[in-house]
Structure 1
Amino acid sequence: MTRNAALWQAAEQGDAGRVRDLLGRGASANARRPDGRTALTAAALGDHVAVARLLIDAGADPDPQDTARNNALLVTGETGSVAMLREVLRAGPDLTRTNRFGGTALIPAADRGHVAYVRELLKTEINVDHVNNLSWTALLEAVILGDGGTRHTEIVRLLLAAGANPNLADREGVTPLAHANQRGYGAMVQLLTSAGGK
């Protein structure tokens, strides 16, 4: 096994000691497996923060995407790890990169109810109104794929406070407010109405 292959495996397993050793012996911080997944993306998927820190300090690029269009930042939107997000942000990722659904990291985080993650990511310059391949924004996903409970309602509040357009409709022309009304999500309806939603 090459050093780079060993590094990728160690990153996936969260073995910080082995990663440090391999980097010291010349393995590339940008080691990738055949499908293009980087060691950093593997570490991010496993929430191995210490490993990610080592790789980033060694110059790992956060942006390369594998054949599934995942990269280190995009997978944190799925896992919701704030600690990993902070590490990846240190590396200066491209916030406009999109996953296989055409969404930025903000969109899966909104639909999965990752409140603390959304709050942290909104401190960056990420486009709060990005529209994915389904013609949904993070706001629409929080309403449509959320459960109307406290987590998704708080995400709606955070997105609106960050300037999300409450009237960006889906491809059928249905607005976030209309979706919230259809589902009987009273707290979301109040927030969206207060923000000028129609």
Structure 2
Amino acid sequence: MAAAERGDADVVRAAITAGADLEVRDSAGRTPLLLAATADRVEVASLLVAAGAEPDALDHRHDTPWLVTGVTGSVAMARALLPAEPDLTITNRFGGTSLIPAAERGHVEYVRFASGTGIDVNHVNNPGWTALLEAVILGDGSDRYQEIVRILIAAGADVNLADRSGVTPLTHARADGQAEVAAILTAAGAQAP
């Protein structure tokens, strides 16, 4: 586990060869693959995936290796995990898929990559927000958030899917003074009630 977290591929390879338990857990319920994903240790994660490590193992915070990639924004790690066929519908403790924290944090390349995996771009999390809503509400309207809005729209995001209060992405963008984001949404057919 320590070798996975620090990215020591030689030690991890030797442990795998010696028959180490790939699903051993630390006190927080994290597996070696989750530790490697969190620390962005791509080579180690690739070794663990090739050895059959479980990509959907949930820890005590309800994170999986795949879900963590949305937080870190690591496209390289997401690519390393895909051969293990992670369940893209598993949600984090906030009820969100990996795409939602990535959109919130402004991880443009991750959003571009993940939106092409078949992940549900219109998934609604526990607070009632989609990736598009998170990008608008929690983003700052800067170039990277404008690009995320464009990517999500191109991937099929519903520009009129409102939050639980009935407020649309366009209304949020206008209220936050995000003129460029509002223009992108309007061009995509967004409406403000």
What is the TM-score normalised by the length of structure 2?
0.97
CA positional deviation for 1:176: 0.1
CA positional deviation for 1:28: 2.0
Letter of the 2:99 partner, please give it. Answer: L
- Give the distance between the partners of 1:162 and 1:193, measured in 2 at CA: 16
- Give the distance between the partners of 2:61 and 2:147, measured in 1 at CA: 30
Name the counterpart of 1:125: 118
Name the counterpart of 2:51: 58
Q: Which of residues 128, 141, 146 is equivalent to 1:148? A: 141
Name the counterpart of 1:45: 38
Q: Which of residues 150, 159, 179 is equivalent to 1:157? A: 150
CA positional deviation for 1:132: 0.4
Q: What 5-or-longer segments of structure 2 have no aligned partner?
A: none
Please list the CA deviations of residues 126-185 of structure 1 after superposition, one character each: whole Å capped at 9, or x if unmatched.
000000010000000000000100001100000001110011111111100000001111
Name the counterpart of 2:127: 134
Aligned pair count reads 191
Give the ranges of 4+ consecutive aligned residues of structure 1 lying more than 4 Å apart after TM superposition: none
Letter of the 1:96 partner, please give it. Answer: T
Please list the CA deviations of residues 89-113 of structure 1 after superposition, one character each: whole Å capped at 9, or x if unmatched.
1210000000011100000000000
Q: Which of residues 13, 28, 33 is equivalent to 2:21? A: 28
- Give the distance between the partners of 2:149 and 2:48, measured in 1 at CA: 34
> What is the percent sequence identity of the aligned residues?
59
Q: Are the aligned partners of 1:29 and 1:56 in contact in 2 as well (CA < 8 Å)?
A: no
Q: What 5-or-longer segments of structure 1 have no aligned partner?
A: 1-7
Name the counterpart of 1:90: 83
Name the counterpart of 2:106: 113
Name the counterpart of 1:5: none
